[in-house]
Structure 1
Amino acid sequence: MMAGRRDGLMRSASGSNNQSLRTSRIAIAIAIGVLLGCVFAFFYPHGFFHPHYPSTSAISRLSESTYQEISSDCESNERIDILKAEIVRMTEKNAELRKQVRELNEKLRLAEQGTDTAQKQFLVLGEQPKAGPFGTVKSLRTNPTVVPDESVNPRLAKILEEVAVRKELVVVLANANVQEMLEVQVSTVKKAGIPNYLVVALDDEIEGYCKSNGVAVYKRDPDEGVDEIGRSGGNHAVSGLKFRILREFLQLGYSILLSDVDIIYLRNPFDHLYRDSDVESMTDGHNNATAYGYNDVFDEPAMGWARYAHTMRIWVFNSGFFYIRPTVPSIELLDRVADRLSKEKAWDQAVFNEVLFYPSHTGYQGLHASKRTMDFYAFMNSKVLFKTVRKDPNLKKFKPVIIHINYHPDKLPRMRAVVEYYFNGKQDALDPFPDGSQ
């Protein structure tokens, strides 16, 4: 019995020791695990396998600080998208406007190629007229002006804006060769009270004279060939330049009263213009027939019954004094004359009239420009003055608008005599001169 109890006690004690040992091992393992956990927590605070990923708390902290910035970025992107859409819309609108401009220009071009002036203008304006009752039908005579284009010459555009009155001005080309005549003309321009007067200086001397005497002046940018003619050319050579130079004035939308330097101004010419035609010019005619046209009968006896052939004649327009409006036919006139003068050895006045008056015919398209002849007493040439007016008591009392010394080579003394007669009242100032030239 004692032996059995002892064995039982031994086994019980042994089992108790084994249980204690297992419990100690578990405790040690837990302690080691906790220790290792602390170590990893210290060295890897954001995790062992995902060291670069922010924790939930970090995301929470970042969300508050970056929300405003993200929201601002979103708004900026939305605004950029709106601006892009607006740019696209404006680009499309601009393309549409360009298309409309091209269509209008094409209509204008086609209209100018037509044969009937009134029909051409109605096509441009988009109107189709009906003929009215007998005796009431009137065709259009005034072509529409071009759209001004300041990009052609911004510097000139600025000068014209300051000088012109109601988009009109007198333009005179001059170099040092004609300075004395220019000085006489400028004195009469001031006496006549003409504010819209501009000198196109072809050399430094004329530019200096104008600036020192309070005369509006424009000196062109350097242009080889053209400048050489301008500096040293005589009257005819300089006269030919005006058709090239005037083009820019018309493109800028201004009506120009082109004047040579051998002209005396007695009254303001802009008070005596009609402005109903592309070109309004003084005439070389000396009476109603020669100035405004007449039926001249050509006689050829060899033709028997048909010996008489009727012809229509008119004395030429004077290319030294004319008013030109900024229309397509006017610009075409300048282009045609300038082109011919660059290729032919010709007188500019002859070419000017041929382009204006020659009709369309086989191989040639005439210029469809409207024309008006100025009153030959108001806009007087020197033949009318010295051959007729100074000898007529009644006509001597009339004060012309301008007098052009175009028929006589002794220009300067005759100009001075005209000033003495009309401005200073010297009644015999014109008497010493012959009717013509000697």
Structure 2
Amino acid sequence: MMGGRRHNAQSLCKSRVGIAIAIGVLLGCVFALCFPNGFISISNPAPMLNRRFAHSIAQVGSTLCESSERLNMLKSEFVAASEENSELKKKVRELTEKFRLAEQRKDQAEKQVLVLGDQKKAGPFGTVKGLRTNPSVVPDESVNPRLAKILEKVAVNKELIVALANSNVKAMLELWFNNIKRVGITNYLVVALDEETARYCEAKDVPVYKRDPDKDIDSVARTGGNHAVSGMKFHILREFLQLGYSVLLSDVDIVYLQNPFNHLYRDSDVESMTDGHDNRTAYGFNDVFDEPKMGWARYAHTMRIWVYNSGFFYIRPTIPSIELLDRVAGRLSREPNSWDQAVFNEELFFPSHPGYDGLHASRRTMDFYLFMNSKVLFKTVRKNANLSKLKPVIVHVNYHPDKFPRMLAVVEFYVNGKQDALKSFPDGSE
């Protein structure tokens, strides 16, 4: 029994081995017929590898080429968009400027309508009043955003005192702002024309504005004398007015004894102190010119007034005021030898005539005892017991070259009560 079983198992094992060999041979034949060169041709593998490598390189090259073209396209689109953006910004600026001018015209037109639009009959005798106060311009902060921020902090009721100064007048400048502080005035600003003056004001806790560089006027600012610097102010003041602020322009040879803003009328484009020394010269008079050879018509009547002082005047932000600054600054640039005060008065007073359009600006002369020039003080006031008791708002040492010692004497007389402080000085510049 055991032998028979062992024989049967060996027979079964042999049959299985035979079947496996037969299947293997059969499969070998099938693969031989289907794949005569085998799965991988090892006779010459290089061509296939080269083809695959070349294909990969071609794909990479194609990708790089497409990326480069795409990058160039993006650059072109960016440049086009930038140009379009610049054009849009330009158009926006143009539209903004047109809108601003339209608003100005609208504001002025509304003011004019109050007088002219609603046509009325003239009232009773002595009651008719014309338009005196021109409307303010619409503030435009884009003119100078940095200055606009400073003025927002310094100005009171949209007005302030402004003085231009360089390092040549440091001693007078210090006396100037010390008296302003003593009176209690807070709305004042020094326009520093050089770095030294800017640093000096900052150290003294004085509000200061250092202009951005301007090659056309910076050389004058650094080294110019009184007249040269004085001529610059008409150019610089324009930005203050465009920003919507009224300016009390002040030279530094002025002693402040009271707050001037408490003594302004604000009913005109320009309110200025006078170089006149009495009622006639300050406020105007009828001067008769005599020409005997004309016989019956020998006497010709003329209207005379002494000039406004361009070193101390209050100017409102109106179109005529800005036109005045433009006219004066323009003439001074074309006529470098002209005196700024003469040009200032000519543009302010000369009427329209053939070949010339006069400026249509309203003006007011300040009280010459309150806003006093040094001729009035040293020639008249100090010698009169009653007048010497009056306390002016400011004293402008404009008639005398020895400015600083006279300014010190004014402080001694009016502030410290030293009665003989003014006596040692001559009337004029002897």
What is the TM-score normalised by the length of structure 1? Answer: 0.74
Shift of 1:262: 0.3
Matched, 1:216 2:226: no
Contiguous gaps of at least 5 residues in structure 1: 1-94, 112-118
- The C-alpha deviation readout for 1:45-73, integer Å capped at 9, x for no partner, is xxxxxxxxxxxxxxxxxxxxxxxxxxxxx
The one of 179, 183, 194 equivalent to 2:185 is: 194
- The C-alpha deviation readout for 1:333-384, integer Å capped at 9, x for no partner, is 0000000000002000000000000000001000000000000000000000
Structure 1: distance between partners of 2:95 and 2:429 = 63
What is the TM-score normalised by the length of structure 2? Answer: 0.75
Q: Which has the larger radius of gyration?
A: 1
Q: Which residue of 2 aligns with 1:409?
A: 401
8 Å CA contact 2:104, 2:138 repeated in 1:
no
Matched, 1:354 2:346: yes
Structure 2: distance between partners of 1:105 and 1:376 = 34
Matched, 1:372 2:364: yes
Matched, 1:384 2:376: yes
Q: Which residue of 2 aligns with 1:161?
A: 152
Give the paired residue count. 336
Q: Which residue of 1 aligns with 2:136?
A: 145
1:129 to 1:173, Cα distance in 2 relative to 1, 3 A: farther
- The C-alpha deviation readout for 1:150-207, integer Å capped at 9, x for no partner, is 0000000000000000001000000001111001111110111110010000001110
Structure 2: distance between partners of 1:376 and 1:99 = 42
8 Å CA contact 2:115, 2:131 repeated in 1:
no
2:394 alignment partner AA:
I
Structure 2: distance between partners of 1:162 and 1:98 = 26
8 Å CA contact 1:108, 1:124 repeated in 2:
no
1:176 to 1:253, Cα distance in 2 relative to 1, 3 A: same
Structure 2: distance between partners of 1:130 and 1:401 = 42
1:177 to 1:184, Cα distance in 2 relative to 1, 3 A: same
1:126 to 1:154, Cα distance in 2 relative to 1, 3 A: farther
What does 1:272-421 align with in structure 2 at a 5 Å threshold?
Answer: 272-344=263-335, 345-421=337-413
8 Å CA contact 2:242, 2:317 repeated in 1:
yes
Shift of 1:411: 0.3
Structure 2: distance between partners of 1:96 and 1:413 = 54
Structure 1: distance between partners of 2:420 and 2:166 = 32
Classify the secondary structure of the residue corresponding to 1:141: coil
Contiguous gaps of at least 5 residues in structure 2: 1-93
Structure 2: distance between partners of 1:103 and 1:212 = 44
Structure 2: distance between partners of 1:231 and 1:430 = 33
Q: Which residue of 2 aligns with 1:5?
A: none
Structure 1: distance between partners of 2:209 and 2:416 = 31
2:193 alignment partner AA:
L
1:434 to 1:360, Cα distance in 2 relative to 1, 3 A: same
Structure 2: distance between partners of 1:102 and 1:275 = 24
Q: Which residue of 2 aligns with 1:422?
A: 414
The one of 219, 225, 236 equivalent to 1:228 is: 219
1:198 alignment partner AA:
L
- The C-alpha deviation readout for 1:299-351, integer Å capped at 9, x for no partner, is 00010000000000000000000000000000000000000000002000000
- Aligned residues with identical type, % of pairs: 74
Compute the RMSD of aligned alpha carbons: 2.2
1:422 alignment partner AA:
Y
The one of 205, 212, 225 equivalent to 2:196 is: 205
